[in-house]
Amino acid sequence: MGPNLGEKTYLWHVVILRAYIGGYLLYQGSRKFLRDFPHSDWVGRQIGDLIEVDLFSWYKDFLLSVVSLHEVLFGYLVMYGEILIGLSLILGLLTRFSSFMGIIMFINYVLGPGMARGGSTSGQTLTFLVSMIVLFLSNPGRTLGLDAFLFAKSKRE
């Protein structure tokens, strides 16, 4: 007896997770916007001195050779990424895509600030990463979200 993949499920309980993470990301991105995050020394504040911090060598090389050279661009990507992913999750619009982008974002947060700071920062980031994976797999935008209208199946009679 295998799993019944054709069974309908209702994901109202995952909507709470979706709304919480969306609100958190929107709040964090808005705070970055108000502080002019991209034009500050955000790499130094979030990760530390890239020369001295203990990270995976390949990720450290990426930060030194790409991110630090284009710090303002990556600052905008972080800030607007958090705002757009947050709004998307709150509205339930394109939740699978935004969850995937959130997974990529949180993997970078684990590899950068999470590893550099360790402890609770790493634990919180890993919790959000796992939550994003749950959202990606469950596609909760179809329950109390705009995805229900965007991806509605036409009813044939």
pLDDT digits (tens, 9 = 90+) for 61-89: 999 999 999 999 999 999 999 999 999 99
C-alpha to C-alpha distance for 139 and 118, rounded to whole angstroms: 30
Q: Is residue 153 part of a domain?
A: no
pLDDT value at 36 more than 90: yes
Does residue 9 form part of some domain? no
pLDDT of residue 11 exceeding 80: no
* Torsional sign, CA 18, 112, 78, 104: negative
Q: What per-residue confidence (pLDDT) applies to 9?
A: 61
The reply to whether 32 falls in a domain is yes
In a domain, 22, yes or no: yes
4 belongs to a structural domain: no
State which residues form the domain around 27: 14-38+71-143
Q: What would the mean pLDDT of 136-155 be, rounded to a whole number?
A: 82
pLDDT at 140 over 90: no
> Per the domain annotation, does 126 fall within a domain?
yes
- Total domains, the chain: 1
Could you tell me if residue 2 is inside a domain? no
**121-130 long-range contacts, CB within 8 A, separation 24+:** 128/21, 128/24, 128/102, 129/103
Is residue 113 situated within a structural domain?
Answer: yes
